[in-house]
Amino acid sequence: MTSTPLRIVHCVRSPIGGIFRHIRDLATCQAEAGHEVGLICDSSTGSAYDNQHVDELRPALSLGLARFPMQRHLTVQDLSATLTLYRHIRDLKPDILHGHGAKGGAYARLIGSALRFRGQKVDRVYCPHGGSLHYDPHRFEGRVYHTLENLLGRITDGMIFVSDYEAAAYESKVGHPHALTRIVYNGLRPEEFRPVDVDSDAADFLYIGMLRDLKGPDLFIEALYNIRLKTGTAPKAHIVGEGPDEERYRAMVSNLGLDRSVTFHGAMPAREAFKLARTVVVPSRAEAMPYIILETVAAQRPLIATRVGGIPEIFGRYANRLVEPGHIGKLTLAMADALDKPEKMEANAKELSHCLAETFSVDLMSDRITALYKELRGIDPQDDLVPSASNGRQAASRIHTAYARSSNR
């Protein structure tokens, strides 16, 4: 248990996908370490599956779980939402206000600044998780969001990037951070590093993730169709997940005559989904540091993924295996090759998984983020290490030194 407990409030708009997985793991570790933790998120986002995960986190949150309406895009309703959130957060008296994603980060920094103006010592921490950094800086929408990010950066005390790519994207699109900055990779729990065996009737391919174009389900479906055109037989595939474009993808499957080959599922735990197919395909057009890649590699499942965001940082010296994003021809070739050479895909999966546990650990992720909090508060993190953390932390910390970036506040 920590001898210097902090009051930590996490704020995120959308409690779904990888961003919520990150918050859930981080909040749980912080609560187990003796900190008081709270969470604020949108009340209108999330399926029954997502809401179940949110509710499962509730017992760990001594500062409570609060859900308020939050809009995804900039609207006049943001003004009333900010006031409502301010009143709630003010009464929690946080030491750390940690915003996740563009909207969560904006709320945290604006409200944190108002609290500081009223004399409450709160440090404002922000993690983009991709968010507004995915926008094209040459388009109007991108220029608006990046300008706002630049302005909000001036009232930020700490920044956390989940990959080197994300840090570089921020610097090139927004500017050099004014805050104390760290790069902290997402981490997995120890039990997630066990291999997963597929079912006896496993399909050929699995897409698992949010059903929206940014993640590339349309490319996955088109590649299946291309293979059928070439071989006369469509591979068997499962699509696992939920999202705003699900009906369009169902219609796409039907229009291409793939109904008998492709099965849609709702959201389910990744390790259960891995049993459904021999090869996982992640055809994303943009990413930050996707959990599904980490989970697939840790489970030693064959994987086809694109060269976007922080994915090359996971693959390391094997990054040449990644596929060019948005290139349907190269994705089709990679999937066809996986059908022809299953033994090679299995060998590659085992080879890639060996060094993952040291670098992508949930304990290490939590320790490094909490260490940033303490540095902001003037607490020496070395005087307050949590005894229950995983073995080998010192060695893992030395590995991560190469990825840490900081600048004077």
From 45-49, 95-99, 359-363, the region with the lowest mean pLDDT: 45-49
HSE value, Cβ hemisphere, 13 Å, CA-based, for 127: 30
Residue 374, H or E segment: helix 362-377
pLDDT recorded at residue 355: 74
pLDDT digits (tens, 9 = 90+) for 311-351: 999 999 999 999 999 999 999 999 999 999 999 999 999 99
Residue 73 has pLDDT above 90, yes or no: no
Higher pLDDT, 119 or 406: 119
Q: Are strands 203-208 and 123-127 parallel, antiparallel or unpaired?
A: unpaired
Confidence of residue 383 (pLDDT cuts 50, 70, 90): low
The predicted-structure confidence for 130-184, as pLDDT tens digits, reads as follows 989 999 999 999 999 999 999 999 999 999 999 999 999 999 999 999 999 999 9
- Taking alpha carbons only, the member of 62, 53, 66 closest to residue 23 is 53
Indicate the helix (H) or strand (E) that contains 396.
helix 393-401
Per-residue confidence at 393, pLDDT binned at 50, 70, 90? very low
- Which CATH code is given to the segment(s) 191-357? 3.40.50.2000
Reference 156, options 137, 134, 178; nearest CA is: 178
DSSP 323: B
Nearest partner of 187 among 213, 160, 214, judged by Cα: 160
The answer on pLDDT for 1 being more than 90 is: no
**Smallest Cα–Cα separation from 53: which of 218, 263, 270?**
270
**Token pair for residue 262?**
């492709």
pLDDT at 78 over 50: yes
pLDDT range class, residue 3, cuts 50, 70, 90: confident
Name 304's Cβ contacts closer than 8 Å, sequence gap at least 6.
279, 280, 281, 282, 283, 323, 331, 334, 335, 338
DSSP assignment, residue 183? E
Q: How many CB atoms lie within 10 A of CB 110?
A: 18
Query: Are 7-187+361-401 and 191-357 the same fold in CATH?
Result: yes
Query: What is the total residue count of the chain?
Result: 409
The pLDDT > 70 percentage for the chain reads 93
8 Å CB contact between 296 and 274: yes
CA distance 302 to 297: 8
HSE, side-chain direction, 13 A CA sphere, residue 1: 5
Find the helix or strand (DSSP H, E) in which 351 lies.
helix 342-353
pLDDT of residue 84: 94
Average pLDDT over residues 207-236: 97
The beta-strand segments (E) located in 187-346 are: 203-208, 237-240, 262-265, 277-282, 303-305
Alpha-carbon distance of 275 to 194, in angstroms, equals 13
Tokens of 408: 């004077």
pLDDT over 90 percentage in the chain? 86
Write down the mean pLDDT value for the chain.
92
Residue 381: the pLDDT is 67
- Greater confidence, 394 or 55? 55
Q: What is the pTM of this model?
A: 0.89
Q: Taking the chain, what is the end-to-end CA distance rounded to the nearest angstrom?
A: 29
186 close to 276: Cβ distance less than 8 angstroms: no
Token pair, residue 305, equals 């993924």
| 333: amino acid identity, one letter | L
Confidence of residue 397 (pLDDT cuts 50, 70, 90): very low
Tell me if 405 sits within 8 A of 182, measured CB to CB. yes
Other Cβ atoms less than 10 A from the Cβ of 351: the count is 11
pLDDT (0 to 100) of residue 390: 41
Average pLDDT over residues 108-131: 96
For the domain spanning 7-187+361-401, the CATH number is: 3.40.50.2000
Q: How far is CA 238 from the centre of its chain?
A: 22
The ranges assigned to domains in the chain are 7-187+361-401, 191-357
Q: Is the dihedral of CA 62, 63, 69, 74 positive or negative?
A: negative
pLDDT of residue 13 exceeding 70, the answer is yes
Helices then strands, each counted (H, E), the chain: 16, 12
Taking CA atoms, 338 is separated from 64, 179, 206, 290, 347, in Å, by 47, 45, 12, 22, 12
pLDDT at residue 72, rounded to an integer: 84
